């Protein structure tokens, strides 16, 4: 179907317990959101699916969980203290602040310009100041003394925790190259651009992997390295459609041109999604070369190298980095899964068509009605199901409304306990229940004795 508008999905996400604006009772807080009971499951499922693809299913990648706050020199070596900024301009009339690159790209609306071609304030046409570099890293103080030596930074990416642990992982795990180290954790950026929901927030979870490879024989012509990079680019795009279930027609790859490349990269390709406001980055795959290991080696005085048995030399590995955003992926999944269609009775139903692996609630157990004879059997079924999958039990309102509620939160299967299960008054039941499929709305009857197997076939078909 056509993309839903953003407000529809933002409102459903709030109403049904996925994502709330943070601190709403205080009027909210810039670009900050909280994840509700369903949002936290959604996030966890996406993170687990990423971890499974990147770590569990591969022999050449291991995991890591590095500290968030660490030695500030980490961010000096990485170039973030000097380079990690956005060009900001202020309106001299209304004092509003804008990111110049986003303003030029039309993010604040159509760009009007003065006679010399300089952009003007999108609010009131006022003159803008010259751009100033604004560092996106949050600073904090470590220890009791407020002085510059105690300054530390909140991490704006997870990658550096991986680079500084490269040698630890290599030696403790007795690994050879190529070796990937994966990490999924929170990052922080003092973003000033308007939020667009969870697309851009001050704190966000990243899922990053640094893939360490032998350096190319010819630095100017790193053919094999670039071939590996191409493979990662494709693999990461395919992950969104094949594992997460995003419509492949709304995904594209966009290589960066030379001016756009970060200071550490010789090539970057973004996996982009067609958001309601246009194409936007979901993940970046970057050729970080030996930049980070070399810089950490220089500043720390502790060279970070690998002993290549073939050449008999210590070499600095070259790195390929797929860096994904968990919160943006949540936004994409909610937007992409949203469907409006007609139900059995020709009435509108809203369905979130999540892949079962991603769905927050896998099974809902519903007695046909709130009835004393149905309850014990329904509770018994619920106890069987909830041990294995995130499940809900719901007996309020009509069965049709309860199906609608489960459709709206993307529950793949509903199990209904009815009078055939328990038997009419004075009659024995047949101990069977129905399984209703969210997408087809088709119901099949299965004996309770076979229920776990029947659900597993539908939910975890691996
Ligand atoms: P953008 O250009 O949109 O600011 P970026 O190129 O700076 O993003 P990277 O540094 O490549 O982003 O980070 C990797 C991923 O982390 C992004 O693709 C995105 O999914 C996520 N990400 C980055 N910044 C934010 C943010 N402020 N809020 C939510 N997710 C973010």
Give the pLDDT confidence score for residue 82 in this predicted structure.
Answer: 87
Which residue has the CA at smallest separation from atom 27 of ligand 1?
200
Edge-to-edge strand list for the sheet holding 413-417: 391-393, 363-367, 413-417, 432-437, 443-447
Gap between the Cα atoms of 301 and 428, Å rounded: 79
Mutating to test ligand 1, I would choose from 31, 204, 236 the residue with most ligand atoms within 8 A of its C-beta, which is 204
Residue minimizing CA distance to atom 23 of ligand 1: 325
Take atom 6 of ligand 1 and give the residue whose Cα is closest.
284
Helix (H, G, I), strand (E, B) or coil at 4: coil
Return contacts of 456-462, CB within 8 angstroms, 24+ apart. 456/388, 458/356, 458/412, 458/413, 459/356, 459/362, 459/363, 459/389, 459/412, 459/413, 460/356, 460/357
Residue 42 tokens read as 């959604």
DSSP string, 156-173: S-SHHHHHTTHHHHHHHT
Atom 24, ligand 1: residue with shortest CA distance: 200
Q: For the chain (length 462 residues), average pLDDT per consecutive 10?
A: 87 98 92 96 98 97 97 94 84 89 84 91 93 89 79 95 97 94 96 83 97 95 96 97 96 93 87 95 96 97 95 96 98 97 86 97 97 95 98 95 96 97 89 97 97 96 64
200 in ligand 1 pocket by Cβ < 6 Å? Answer: yes
Compute, in angstroms, the gap from residue 325 CA to the centroid of ligand 1: 6
Architecture (CATH level 2) of domain 6-61+156-334 = 2-Layer Sandwich (3.30)
Residues carrying CATH 3.40.50.800, the chain: 361-459
Q: How far is the CA of 8 from the centre of ligand 1 (A)?
A: 24
Q: How far is the CA of 255 from the centre of ligand 1 (A)?
A: 15
Eight-state DSSP code of residue 347: -
List of residues 6+ apart from 217 with CB closer than 8 A: none
Closest protein CA for atom 3 of ligand 1: 281
397: DSSP letter: S
What token pair was written down for 206?
Answer: 């990243």
Identify the residue whose C-alpha is closest to ligand 1 atom 21: 325
Is the C-beta atom of 325 inside 6 A of ligand 1? Answer: yes
Distance 189 CA to ligand 1 centre (A): 9
Report the C-alpha gap between 240 and 91 in whole angstroms. Answer: 40
Compute, in angstroms, the gap from residue 111 CA to the centroid of ligand 1.
24
User: Which of 80, 206, 232 has most ligand 1 atoms within 8 Å of CB, for mutation?
Assistant: 206
User: Where in the sequence of the chain do the CATH 3.30.930.10 domains occur?
Assistant: 6-61+156-334
- The atom number, within ligand 1, closest to the CA of 286 reads 11
d(CA 356, CA 426): 39
Distance 448 CA to ligand 1 centre (A): 47
DSSP H stretches of helix in 243-356: 291-300, 326-337
Residue 6 region, left (φ>0) first, then alpha (ψ -120 to 50), else beta? alpha
Burial of 43-79, coded b for 16+ CB within 10 Å and e otherwise, reads bebbbebbbebbbeeeeebbebebeeebebebbebbe
- What is the token pair recorded at 98? 């804008």
CATH class name, domain 361-459: alpha beta
108-111: which pairs have CB atoms within 8 A and are 24 or more residues apart? 108/194
Cβ of 222 below 6 Å from ligand 1? no
Atom of ligand 1 nearest to the CA of 270: 18
Q: Is 317 near ligand 1, meaning CB less than 6 Å away?
A: no
The predicted model scores a pTM of 0.92
**What is the whole-number distance in angstroms between the Cα of residue 274 and the centre of ligand 1?**
16
């Amino acid at each position: 179907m056509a993309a839903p508008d953003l407000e529809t999905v933002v409102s459903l996400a709030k109403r049904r317990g996925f994502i709330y604006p943070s601190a709403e009772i205080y009027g909210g807080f810039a670009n900050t959101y909280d994840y509700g009971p369903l949002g936290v499951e959604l996030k966890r499922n996406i993170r687990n699916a990423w971890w499974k693809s990147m770590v569990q299913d591969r022999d050449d990648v291991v995991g890591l969980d590095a500290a968030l706050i660490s030695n500030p020199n980490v961010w000096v070596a990485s170039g973030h203290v000097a380079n990690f900024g956005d060009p900001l301009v202020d309106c001299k009339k209304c004092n509003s602040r804008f990111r110049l690159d986003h303003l030029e790209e039309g993010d604040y609306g159509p760009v009007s310009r003065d006679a010399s071609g300089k952009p003007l304030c999108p609010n009131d046409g006022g003159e803008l100041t010259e751009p100033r570099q604004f560092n996106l890293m949050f600073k904090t103080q470590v220890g009791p003394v407020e002085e510059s030596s105690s300054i530390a930074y909140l991490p704006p990416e997870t990658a550096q925790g991986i680079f500084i642990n490269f040698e630890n992982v290599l030696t403790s795990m007795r690994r050879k190259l190529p070796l990937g180290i994966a990490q999924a954790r929170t990052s922080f950026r003092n973003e000033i651009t308007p939020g667009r929901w969870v697309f851009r927030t001050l704190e966000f979870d990243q899922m990053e992997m640094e893939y360490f490879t032998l350096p190319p024989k010819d630095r100017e012509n790193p053919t094999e390295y670039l071939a590996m990079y191409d493979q990662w680019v494709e693999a990461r795009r395919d992950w969104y459609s094949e594992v997460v279930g995003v419509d492949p027609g709304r995904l594209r790859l966009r290589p960066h041109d030379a001016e756009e490349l970060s200071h550490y990269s010789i090539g970057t390709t973004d996996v982009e999604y067609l958001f309601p406001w246009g194409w936007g980055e979901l993940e970046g795959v970057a050729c970080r070369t030996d930049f980070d290991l070399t810089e950490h080696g220089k500043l720390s005085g502790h060279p970070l190298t690998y002993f290549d048995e073939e050449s008999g030399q210590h070499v600095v590995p070259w790195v390929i980095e797929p860096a994904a955003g968990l919160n943006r992926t949540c936004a994409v999944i909610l937007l992409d899964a949203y469907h409006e269609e007609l139900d059995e009775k020709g009435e509108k139903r809203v369905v979130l068509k999540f892949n079962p692996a991603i769905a927050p609630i896998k099974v809902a157990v519903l007695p046909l009605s709130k009835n004393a004879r149905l309850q014990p059997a329904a509770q018994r079924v619920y106890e069987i199901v909830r041990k294995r999958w995130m499940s809900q039990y719901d007996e309020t309102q009509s069965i049709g409304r309860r199906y609608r509620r489960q459709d709206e939160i993307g529950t793949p299967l509903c199990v209904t306990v009815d009078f055939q299960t328990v038997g009419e008054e004075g009659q024995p039941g047949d101990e069977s229940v129905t399984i209703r499929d969210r997408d087809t709305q088709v119901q099949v009857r299965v004996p309770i004795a076979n229920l776990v197997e029947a659900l597993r076939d539908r939910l975890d078909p691996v």
